[in-house]
Chains A and B, each alone.
Chain A
Amino acid sequence: MKKKSTRLLLVAGILFLAVAVFVASVVTIQKINGTVSRKITLEEAQQIVTESFSALPGTVATGAKYIVENTLITVNDINYGNQKDIILDCDYTTLDVKNTVTDNIEKYILSAYNFNMENEAAGKKTNATKVKQLVSDEMVRDLSESERISGTTSLYIYEIEENAFKLFLSDETINTVFGGLLDAKNIINNTLTVNVDGTEISIANKNTLRTGIKDCVSLNNYNNRKPDTNIGIIKAWNSFKYDFHRNFIVNNQWKYLANGLLTTLKITALAVLIGIAIGFIVAVIRCTNQKTGKLSFLSSVCRLYLSIMRGTPIMVQLLIIYFVILLPIGVEKFPAAVICFGLNSGAYVSEIVRGGIMSIDAGQTEAGRSLGFTYMQTMWYIIIPQAFKAVLPSLANEFITLLKESSVAFYIGVADLTLGGLKIRSITYSNYMPLLAVAIIYLILVLGLSKCVSILERRLRKGDNR
């Protein structure tokens, strides 16, 4: 049995990879590899580099614009790789951004802070753009007095389409040729407090100020991912690895899925327990009414419950139970979801159990009653154990159904598996990876549980013939 479940996981894993690779290759179709279609001249290379760099700071005057304008890149030599890549050996001279910002960060924070205080006193709101302009002016003055540093580096150009060349800029390259620009950005990010004459000024909670200062050294988006020039399948695999990494590995984002899965399993398990309890009670009431004519009031209540629960969508039930009934009396989301799914599953379980009770031979009841058991004792000692065994596979299937249906719980904000996937999606703006992962986790669970149900069924059949 252990061997089988391992194989199942393996199959599911391969399935996952296959689907993901396929989707990824569809998502990023590009030309196949090889060397570039034509060689470029030094002038061309220099032009590509200069144009790319001048586009980096955008149009608005900031510290970043000043830094880029005062950075000089000279292309000295051109080499060609065989992945449509061109390697440029360059000299650069630039400003010492890192040290300038390190030396003056406290001053920037203080002036932003004072600016904010003035605004508050005047009843005005401070916005990040204003802060950026203010700090940029100071920063440009400091940078103009800073030392110039120089060195050599390699830049990469890729031919992304025939005769279309693009400069590839990684974080590392940017940091090098701009004198530690990204280091400076980190310093701004991590400096939250300033000590002025013994009093501590904190901008930890003032996002506007920090954003404003940070924007002084912010560049427009540059492609920090190598253009993919490999052949299709490798490209797809690389793309998959990259997407996988940025969706699940970065910041431990896989934990959204893991915790969500745990919540989904908890909701389902608890709801099924409630469902079984309710289901058996309702089934016994209805069977008793059917056979003896007693409990007719309770039976009508049960019928009403059944028609409501089976006649309305579970999503609507969830919204009503949470927002209309339970939220006003202060019940949390999680118990609300458990209660809703429990009530819903109870309706279905009761019909399963009723079928189970009805399927037990009338002779069993007669034998029990003839010994002197009351109707309820006969039910409890004789009918229900047999009915339970008979409907166990159906109950397990109900559990599987509920596992899938519980995915609507995200609608009231329960952090289940589905919401975990959506959360990742909202962070990475990637659609296929998180949604596919959610689907595949559900699939693995359902396939595994179905397997368990069929094993259970076989065991029970064996038990009948012992």
Chain B
Amino acid sequence: MITVKNLYKNFGENDQIKVLKNVSEHISKGEKVVIIGPSGSGKSTFLRCLNRLEEPSSGEIYFENQLITSPKSDINKLRMKMGMVFQHFNLFPHLSIMENITLGPIKLLKMSKADAEKRATDLLKRVGLPDKANAYPAQLSGGQKQRIAIARSLAMNPDVMLFDEPTSALDPEMVGEVLDLMKELASDGMTMVVVTHEMGFAREVATRILFMDEGNILEQGTPDEFFSNPKNPRLKEFLAKVL
């Protein structure tokens, strides 16, 4: 579904800061890929390159067999198929919850308002917040906001969901409700790429775990072999600290 070939990403003047150094990866349909790694390892940048929120410096990314790194590709069309959930939720504060969820479907998918609201109502039920349709983001807790953000992405009916540290900005007691929703989403067969520090979630949900450090994928595998038998010394060190 997503194929990344020789991806480089540099920042700063004269590209001095090299964040991604020759990353290649393939993610198949239905996979739940969890990316872990220390801060500054490039995992968020890698995720954000997948829908070109960060412009890759070089390399190729294919999504559903289309080269999305080419300037000719219509990135906006492709992004509709790739939902993204952010660490800081990024709900639109001037719109009600209902409007937050229906804005994309109405304006981009050209759905009628009634259809979009019907879909939104279903999604609100699914994320467990059916009574919040007319509330505004400022009235919600962090966990509720993130669930709405997930519903907003799902409203576009994406083929893949990208999660960028979705629980990092939450109070500990609210992490559970978001992770539960993500687990539910995973069991429904959604293709997911998740950057997170939640090792429990990785162990339970991931079909594959990638460990990134200093702009490279150092090791990957199923949760079992990844946690029980890590090979890379850097990964061993990392797991020793976080587990």
A120 partner residues in chain B, CB cutoff 8 A: none
Q: Which residues from A are CB-within-8-Å of B107?
A: 373, 377, 381
- Which residues B60-94 have CB closer than 8 A to chain A? 76-80, 82-84, 86, 88, 90-94
A372 to chain B, nearest CB (A): 4
The listed residue (A372, A374, A381) touching B156 by CB distance below 8 A is: A372
What distance in Å separates the Cβ of B193 from its nearest Cβ neighbour in chain A?
Answer: 13
Restricting to A354-372, which residues have a CB under 8 Å from any CB of B? Answer: 361, 363-364, 366-372
Q: Is the CB of A386 within 8 A of B93?
A: yes
B77 near A372 with CB under 8 A, answer: yes
Q: B153 in the interface, Cβ–Cβ < 8 Å?
A: yes
Find out whether the CB atom of B80 lies under 8 angstroms from the CB atom of A363: no
Which residue of B84, B138, B156 is within 8 Å of A466 (Cβ)? B138
B108 contacts A by Cβ under 8 Å: yes
Q: How many Å from the CB of A425 to the closest CB on chain B?
A: 50
Given contacts A370-B79, A371-B79, A373-B107, contact A363 B90 (CB under 8 A): yes
| Complex partner residue of B108 from A363, A366, A372, A466, CB under 8 angstroms | A372
State whether the Cβ of B212 lies closer than 8 Å to any Cβ in chain A: no
Prevailing SS type, chain A contact patch: helix
Q: Are A381 and B103 in contact, with the CB atoms below 8 A?
A: yes
Interface residue tally of chain B, by bracket?
20 to 34
Q: How far is the CB of B137 from chain A (nearest CB, A)?
A: 10
Chain B residues positioned under 8 Å from A206 (CB to CB): none
Most B-side CB within 10 Å, residue of A381, A464, A465: A381
| Alpha-carbon separation in the docked complex, A368 to B76 (Å) | 10
0/1 string, B26-69, CB within 8 A of A gives 1: 00000000000000000000000001010000000000000000
Contact indicator B139/A372 (Cβ below 8 Å): no
13 contacts between A and B (CB under 8 A): A364-B90, A364-B92, A369-B53, A369-B76, A370-B51, A370-B82, A372-B78, A372-B79, A372-B80, A373-B107, A381-B107, A385-B94, A466-B139
11 more A-B residue pairs beyond the given contacts A367-B149, A373-B107, A381-B103, with a C-beta to C-beta distance below 8 A:
A363-B86, A363-B90, A366-B53, A366-B90, A367-B84, A367-B90, A370-B86, A371-B152, A372-B77, A372-B80, A372-B108
Please list the residues of chain A having a beta carbon within 8 angstroms of any beta carbon in chain B. 361, 363-364, 366-374, 377, 381-382, 385-386, 389, 464-466
User: Which residue numbers of B lie inside 8 Å of A, CB to CB?
Assistant: 51, 53, 76-80, 82-84, 86, 88, 90-94, 103-104, 107-108, 136, 138-139, 149, 152-153, 156
Smallest CB-CB A-B distances: 4 pairs: A372-B80, A367-B90, A370-B84, A363-B90
